[in-house]
Amino acid sequence: MRLENKVALITGGGSGIGRASAEMFAREGAKIMVSDVDETTAAETQSTIRGAGGDASIITGDVSNSGDAERMVKATIDAYGRVDVLVNSAGITGRNAMYPGASAEEIWDRVIEVNLKGTYLMCWHAVPQMEQAGGGSIVNLASIMGLVGYSGGLGGGFNAYVPSKGGVLQLTKNLAIDYAKRGIRVNCICPGYIATNLTRSLIEQDPEAQGKLEALHPMGRLGTADEIASAALFLASDESSFVTGTPLIVDGGYTAQ
């Protein structure tokens, strides 16, 4: 029960890494506010947690909208009295950012809005609440693409996903050093390719993509959402009490090459 009596707000909690984190955190004793743009998937996560005896509520909204971000934090405070942990798992890629036929500039703007601005806004609204409560832990989802360049993909060198995740990593460091003395730890996770809906959409477009992606990792496979959730659990818990400003790489050896 590494998060017993803690309250965790998890964005993107309706699927993938967000859902895995919500369910794992609940098993470790946390009360969970599941946030997602999709009410149906958020409710599914809530139902799973409650079915296992956990405590979960849901709130819908767009992390790139300041009013929605503020409302998510407020809903967590209203439901549970505080926010001890924030996991910024909501994220998109250029493949699912916009409607078919959207311009390159529209896709760029939307990816940056959700991945980077959304992380910023959630932190912006959560940090004052954590300060009042005497501290907290923020876990941002960056990527191996925040650490290394990526050749090809949608947009080639203009792929918005890569700089969006690089920005998350640098935002993490900035927040960590500014709020360390106020009891707030801020870290990020840099996953390799993970078997989630985002990766599946890429594989569906190219039947050979899975083998190609697996071959990029020395371990010869994709990661799982639970493996990333386990890393998030470590960073959220007191086990990482002397860890802040750190990108935790969970990538099957991808960036060691």
- Active-site residue list: 161
User: Could you give the maximum distance between any two Cα atoms of the chain, in Å?
Assistant: 51
Cα four-point dihedral sign 101, 102, 107, 110: negative
- Closest C-alpha among 228, 128, 247 to residue 187: 247
223 secondary structure, DSSP code? B
Q: Residues of 110-141 as b/e, b for ≥16 C-beta within 10 angstroms? A: bbbbbbbbbbbbbbebbbebbeebeebbbbbb
Q: Which two tokens stand for residue 158?
A: 């203009």
